[in-house]
Structure 1
Amino acid sequence: MARPGQRQRGARRTAQRRVHHRGDVVSVLARTAREVEAAARRGRVTPAVRTTFQAVALLLREERARVLAAAGSDARRAEQLKRLDGIATVLATTAVRDAGLLALLAEDAVVSDAARSRRRELLRDLGIEPAPDEVVPAEPATAPPGTERRVVPQSVVSRQLANPFLAPDFSAAPQRTPRPRRLAGWELLGPLLASFERAGGGAPACAALPSPTARFTPAGLELMPHQGQLVAAAAAGHRTFLLADEPGLGKTAQALLAAEAADAYPLLVVVPNVVKRNWAREAARWTPHRPATVVQGDGETVDGFADVVVVNYEVLDRHVGWLGDFGFRGMVVDEAHFIKNKTSQRSQHVLALSDRLRSRTPRPLLMALTGTPLINDIEDFLTIWQFLGWIDESKPLDELMDALEDTGLTPADRGFSAAARQCVIDLGIVRRRKVDVAADIPARRIADLPVELDGAVGRSIRAAERDLARRMRARYETALANRSAVVEGVGSGVDTDLVRRVARSELKDATTGQSGENVFSMLRRIGVAKAGLAADYAAQLARSAGKVVFFARHVDAMDAAEETFARQGVRFTSIRGDQTPAARQANVDAFVGDPDVAVVVCSLTAAGVGLNLQVASNVVLAELSWTDAEQTQAIDRSHRIGQTEPVTAWRIIAAQTIDARIAELIGSKAGLAARALDGSDEEVASSADVQLEALVALLTDELRTAAGHEAASAS
């Protein structure tokens, strides 16, 4: 019989064998990933499938890290990594079918308790007992603010240590002497809400604004008059705004320049993920002297010395601590209807930051941006009013209460409702419609909205683009070496003629299907990856501004968009090339005639001509056209005779990819086409021109980058 010491040593040896024998991990991960893929193909992405998907993604990352850190031969490690990359590809292609799965691949995705539990089950099925520190206790499903995982970016710590004068000074926090209240005993929030409900849809909901100013507009840019009015109000001392202009009227520029006029820096901007990058781009455009930084994930790339800090709702929980102590003098909440549910964590975090800002900063700038009309579901705006400091949980706060007192009325008086509504509006409600400022804005406007392709899908697309550039570079260098062998005195710079020949050859191979990953397949992958983000933005537009026309080029991008609309409860119809004329007309009639059908999903090639969709004044271009003419044809489905409102086309562009290059090329070719139509001798650009120029730009950048690396190595 074994002695106790022998039994303990034997148990330890058995546990070690079970913990470190991981030969079957990759096989199990591959099999489980294929099961999830099959479920996604069948359209049966249940909560259990999502849980398993995230558990596999977690284990895949862990196994990859273990392989990279383990001792052994390079060949063995390369073989293991190749197998893991294959599983990653399966996950990425599966996620493209479902935006919910795609979100789980993001590095900052919240890991659910169910996914942690499923991960442990998979490990135990393999005979691998999770280490004690891997067993994470479950957190309450509705953890109150203050209990979540919090981070402080290192650059923020560096900012605090670099210069003590940068530390926020809260000594000037406003102190107010209370005054007697005639209305102190009245319940006022209900009558305030009722004052908006009784006003009806035709009643104006816009505060009086001063004449527009251009004093804070950068050189070379121009504000529209209605934008300049709000900036002038901020310059005159107004500090709270519920800016509810319709989409397309430039709320972002107004907010940034209002902050400039109010000297409200540092400025915190809380936004949905889909517009996060656009805010940084607009800040660089409208306030170029104010550095902006975007908070990604745990904030490793945050610039702690920036004047504008942009953070999305999804990661706000982990950053709310240091954001509250940063010393902001202004705060903007974009798509403010996102915080209408006061019990949600995102709303509580936004309100906590607002309270902290108002308690520490004299007269901070607070702006809530939303295109949703105030006359719809007015109770949803209680949280926004609370963010702006107009009310608290139960009553109006000082500024609004003073205004109500000055009316001399009580809720029992006949004129109280109209007077109370005006008091709220005067605090800073600004609502302009396109039709109201039609003279100020172009009849047709194209607005670019850059989005970031995060997670495994984004990394895969960027890797494919690098591979394409390197393949063309290898072809270029081979041709250059062969030519240099027979020609003396060849220069060391980039041979632009050879670059174009290589690009033309690559384009020919791509057209005939002789190359692997090419410009066409990459644009298709990018389109599918963008589709969920584009659909999410289109859904926001539909809720705030009415019907939306949504264009995509590829069928799988249209499928992904329609899945997003269905999941969000947005009613839609579609126009595709495989429809019969009768079905096509029925879908057009549904979009035009049914007020509940908010979106029509259109094929760029099948619906770009011959349709009248002027019932909508917002168009979303989820995938780019190859020519400006094709893009214009699509926009003109809404921008046509009979349209009573200016039309805005929103181009969704994948930042830091070839998608952005093509967007620039289409814009440059548009001017060329216009000159040609005006009688110039210039030749109108074709789609092949844009495709060729995109490859030329890609190869040129690759050659210059390689030359820079060689120069750095030589030095």
Structure 2
Amino acid sequence: MLARTVREVEAAVQRGRVTPSVRAKFQAVALMLREERARVRADATVGDARRSEQLKRLDGVAQILATTAVRDSGLLALLAEDTVVSPEARELTRELLRSAGVEPAPEEVPPPEIPAPFAPPERRAVPQSVISRQLANPFLAPDFSAAPVRPSRPRRLAGWELLNPLLSSFERAGDGAPACMALPAPTSLRAPGDLQLMPHQGALVAAAAAGHRTFLLADEPGLGKTAQALLAAEAANAFPLLVVVPNVVKTNWAREAGRWTPHRPATVVQGDGNAVDGFADIVIVNYEVLDRHVGWLGTFGFRGMVVDEAHYIKNKTSQRSQHVLQLSERIRARTPRPLLMALTGTPLINDIDDFRAIWQFLGWIDESQPLGELMDALEDTGLTPADPGFYPAARQCVIDRGIVRRRKVDVAADIPARRIADLPVELDGPAGRSIRAAERDLVARMVSRYERALAGRADGDAVEGIDPELVRRVARAELKDATTTTGENVFSMMRRIGRAKAGLAADYTAQLARSAGKVVFFAKHVDVMDAAEDAFAQAGIRFSSIRGDQTPSVRQKNIDAFVTDPEVAIAVCSLTAAGVGINLQVASNIVLAELSWTDAEQTQAIDRSHRIGQTEPVTAWRILAAQTIDARIAELIDSKAGLAARALDGSPVEAAEATDVQLEALVGLLTDALREAAPLAAS
């Protein structure tokens, strides 16, 4: 039996097909060869001649094994004395023994493996508030004894190579094959405040409430994956919850957590984590700083983990992927049924192998085989990869573990035909600090002007508290100076903010292009467009440029390229030059990298895609610099849009002009500064 098996391995290696099942068979033969040699040498009932004959035959098998191993370094490594024997090789060994008429010894079920603590590398940080949390309640330390021990069961599929057939089952799927698990009817879960949960969102939350705990949520952008993840965590009571996200959406996650789960404190990990709230229910960390915090995150005691833009971990050799997989393993070791969610509109970027890291994060597979419920489901099919019906059945087994994929067109009745989604971003680094300093200087200049005007008043003109009319006069004077003099002012600040947002806006646009198809990118200033186009070129994404300085023929050529060429993913457009007169309804996602001064200009840009011929709801993603005048102007534009709508409906209110927004922004900045200064002056 050993000789026959080793010849099968030799033939497979000669054909260049060293699959995981071949490696398992190779290791099984090596293991049995050693055990048989030791048995023959120790068998006192066998004569010397018989023993010599048997050892000679075993040496022949060993010679073939060694010659075969030289052909492949991976096989050669399996002959090392300290090599760990894989579960597949152990099970195959038992099967081979049975086929040879030998009953194998009962297999011992090993205790659940507890992941080793993370080795602290350099730059590893532990926030002081996390230490305080641990000291305040020592019972918060992870209790790995809670990890479930799965009962062993006979494995009909042991010895079969299953991962490649599982991946292949998705490549073989024909048109019309289901791509989404069966979801229950939406629950009557009430969203906080005046928020409303859309039916497709409620269906996933209902699945979590019913006990489902792993999801690959691959909805198209604009369908509310963030809200679904937060409310699923609420339904599963998966707190504390760890959320790993790209830097560009970190601030937005904190804002969404405050909206959808307002009673759950959220904290954002910035830099070394000095401002982290160790008692928060939701911890949000971006991939870029994960290496510094993976140590304490691994011992925090999370009961759920969400990985946003999960295609970021597709390269399993990258450091961030390894950290994410380690954290997932530790959470699964501590919590019997943790909530694990991978969010991405782009589960596959290069090929079907991109699934591997995501499936491993979710605990569906490990490096070599399906695990847990997925393995049980495959066993229950009664099929093997040799059966033609295995592939559709296996694909469904994977989907049933939690793949959820809905497109805009599938749930068009759930979402508005046209909507604006704000995406706040943090401006870090020197550019962000410079912008905030310039805003403080602008405010200080207006406060000084206000105080001088106040000091020059006669006693009879005194007004108690803040004088709103004087505030407006100061703001008008500042606005007038901004149009007639050089130096830092509201216009130059908005341009600087646009430049600082350019990279983040381009990064998000690239994500949308990969996950949802064509995207229109609008910017106001040429240097912002230039920066975005450089980013797209470096990322290998083809784009068309539509600007005001182009000749009509060049302009039309670029428009046609975006509309007709499937390889051109992004149209980079001037907000003023391309905001009117062109049709871009081939895209249903728009990125507004810079704000206009009026809602009308913003609406004109959105309507390049939201027009007759558009078959999907249109989402405009407005990139806002958090904690700057950028966010205030966005609010003013929205409020003025309401006034304009009422004016169109017959109200005597006039639609707002650009100067109204500029003036109101300065009025708001000055008023806030005076209010903050009043308590200080009183004390």
Q: Deviations over 1:599-633 (max 9, x none)?
A: 11100000000010011110000001111111110
Q: CA separation in 2, counterparts of 1:295 and 1:399?
A: 34
Q: CA separation in 2, counterparts of 1:374 and 1:272?
A: 17
Q: Deviations over 1:552-595 (max 9, x none)?
A: 00111111111111111111111111000011001001111111
C-alpha contact 1:201 1:375 (8 A) present in aligned 2: no
C-alpha contact 1:230 1:254 (8 A) present in aligned 2: yes
The alignment status of 1:477 with 2:451, answered yes or no, reads: yes
Q: Deviations over 1:41-74 (max 9, x none)?
A: xxxxxxxxxxxxxxxxxxxxxxxxxxxxxxxxxx
C-alpha contact 1:243 1:430 (8 A) present in aligned 2: yes
Does 213-222 or 294-303 show the bigger shift?
213-222
The alignment status of 1:675 with 2:646, answered yes or no, reads: yes
Q: Please list, as runs of the form range in 1=range in 2, the aligned pairs for 1:93-108 lying within 5 A after superposition.
A: none
C-alpha contact 1:237 1:262 (8 A) present in aligned 2: yes
Alignment partner of 1:511 out of 483, 487, 490: 483
Report the secondary structure of 1:605's partner residue: coil
Quote how far apart the aligned CAs of 1:338 are.
Answer: 0.3
Quote how far apart the aligned CAs of 1:710 are.
Answer: 2.0
The alignment status of 1:662 with 2:633, answered yes or no, reads: yes
Quote how far apart the aligned CAs of 1:686 are.
Answer: 1.0
Q: CA separation in 1, counterparts of 2:486 and 2:659?
A: 17
Q: Which runs of 5+ in 2 are unaligned?
A: 1-117
Q: CA separation in 1, counterparts of 2:223 and 2:653?
A: 35
The alignment status of 1:163 with 2:137, answered yes or no, reads: yes
Report the secondary structure of 1:488's partner residue: helix
Alignment partner of 2:473 out of 501, 512, 526: 501
Aligned to 2:422: 448
CA shift in 2, pair 1:464/1:201, >3 Å: farther
C-alpha contact 2:347 2:354 (8 A) present in aligned 1: no
C-alpha contact 1:293 1:302 (8 A) present in aligned 2: yes
2:476 partner letter: R
Quote how far apart the aligned CAs of 1:276 are.
Answer: 0.4
Quote how far apart the aligned CAs of 1:546 are.
Answer: 0.4
Aligned to 1:464: 438
The alignment status of 1:309 with 2:283, answered yes or no, reads: yes
Aligned to 2:570: 599
CA shift in 2, pair 1:216/1:348, >3 Å: farther
Quote how far apart the aligned CAs of 1:515 are.
Answer: 5.3
Quote how far apart the aligned CAs of 1:169 are.
Answer: 3.6
Quote how far apart the aligned CAs of 1:203 are.
Answer: 2.4
Deviating beyond 6 angstroms after TM superposition, the runs of 4 or more aligned structure 1 residues are none
Aligned to 1:637: 608
The alignment status of 1:543 with 2:514, answered yes or no, reads: yes
Q: CA separation in 2, counterparts of 1:344 and 1:524?
A: 36
C-alpha contact 2:544 2:561 (8 A) present in aligned 1: yes
Aligned to 2:109: none
Quote how far apart the aligned CAs of 1:381 are.
Answer: 1.0
Aligned to 1:74: none
C-alpha contact 1:216 1:257 (8 A) present in aligned 2: no
C-alpha contact 1:197 1:375 (8 A) present in aligned 2: no
Alignment partner of 1:624 out of 562, 587, 595: 595
C-alpha contact 1:231 1:254 (8 A) present in aligned 2: yes
Q: CA separation in 2, counterparts of 1:623 and 1:453?
A: 14
C-alpha contact 1:450 1:655 (8 A) present in aligned 2: yes
Quote how far apart the aligned CAs of 1:204 are.
Answer: 2.3
RMSD of aligned Cα (Å)? 1.3
2:134 partner letter: Q
Q: CA separation in 2, counterparts of 1:457 and 1:298?
A: 20
Aligned to 2:581: 610
Q: CA separation in 1, counterparts of 2:632 and 2:344?
A: 31
1:519 partner letter: V
Aligned to 2:91: none
Q: CA separation in 2, counterparts of 1:314 and 1:472?
A: 38
Q: CA separation in 2, counterparts of 1:650 and 1:490?
A: 46
Q: CA separation in 2, counterparts of 1:448 and 1:378?
A: 33
C-alpha contact 2:418 2:619 (8 A) present in aligned 1: yes
Q: CA separation in 1, counterparts of 2:647 and 2:190?
A: 38
CA shift in 2, pair 1:150/1:216, >3 Å: farther
Report the secondary structure of 1:175's partner residue: coil
Aligned to 1:288: 262
Report the secondary structure of 2:145's partner residue: coil
1:579 partner letter: Q
Does 649-658 or 491-500 show the bigger shift?
491-500
Q: CA separation in 2, counterparts of 1:379 and 1:204?
A: 20
Alignment partner of 2:237 out of 263, 267, 285: 263
1:703 partner letter: L
Report the secondary structure of 2:229's partner residue: helix
Q: Please list, as runs of the form range in 1=range in 2, the aligned pairs for 1:21-40 lying within 5 A after superposition.
A: none
Q: CA separation in 2, counterparts of 1:372 and 1:655?
A: 27
1:620 partner letter: V
Q: Please list, as runs of the form range in 1=range in 2, the aligned pairs for 1:243-282 lying within 5 A after superposition.
A: 243-282=217-256
Q: Deviations over 1:294-331 (max 9, x none)?
A: 00010011000000000000000110000000000000
Q: CA separation in 1, counterparts of 2:576 and 2:207?
A: 46
Report the secondary structure of 2:460's partner residue: coil
Aligned to 1:704: 675
Q: CA separation in 2, counterparts of 1:383 and 1:154?
A: 32
Q: Deviations over 1:466-519 (max 9, x none)?
A: 000010111111111111xx233723411001000110111111122x252110
Report the secondary structure of 1:648's partner residue: strand
2:673 partner letter: E
Q: Please list, as runs of the form range in 1=range in 2, the aligned pairs for 1:25-64 lying within 5 A after superposition.
A: none
Q: CA separation in 1, counterparts of 2:551 and 2:325?
A: 52
Report the secondary structure of 2:571's partner residue: strand
The alignment status of 1:585 with 2:556, answered yes or no, reads: yes
The alignment status of 1:438 with 2:412, answered yes or no, reads: yes
Q: Percent identity?
A: 82
Aligned to 1:16: none
Q: Please list, as runs of the form range in 1=range in 2, the aligned pairs for 1:524-535 lying within 5 A after superposition.
A: 524-535=495-506
The alignment status of 1:557 with 2:528, answered yes or no, reads: yes
Q: CA separation in 2, counterparts of 1:387 and 1:628?
A: 43
Report the secondary structure of 2:311's partner residue: helix
Q: CA separation in 2, counterparts of 1:205 and 1:635?
A: 31
1:539 partner letter: A
2:672 partner letter: D
Alignment partner of 1:388 out of 353, 362, 378: 362
Aligned to 1:427: 401
Aligned to 1:56: none
Quote how far apart the aligned CAs of 1:170 are.
Answer: 3.5
1:544 partner letter: S
TM-score normalised according to structure 2 size: 0.82
Quote how far apart the aligned CAs of 1:376 are.
Answer: 6.4
- Give the structure with higher Rg (CA): 2
Report the secondary structure of 1:283's partner residue: helix
C-alpha contact 2:221 2:345 (8 A) present in aligned 1: yes
The alignment status of 1:231 with 2:205, answered yes or no, reads: yes
C-alpha contact 1:145 1:348 (8 A) present in aligned 2: no
Q: CA separation in 1, counterparts of 2:273 and 2:612?
A: 49
Aligned to 1:199: 173
Q: CA separation in 2, counterparts of 1:502 and 1:202?
A: 64
1:332 partner letter: V
C-alpha contact 1:217 1:286 (8 A) present in aligned 2: yes
TM-score normalised according to structure 1 size: 0.78
Report the secondary structure of 2:655's partner residue: coil
Alignment length (residue pairs):
566
Q: Deviations over 1:193-220 (max 9, x none)?
A: 1100010454221000001113252132
Aligned to 1:131: none
CA shift in 2, pair 1:694/1:201, >3 Å: farther
CA shift in 2, pair 1:203/1:525, >3 Å: same
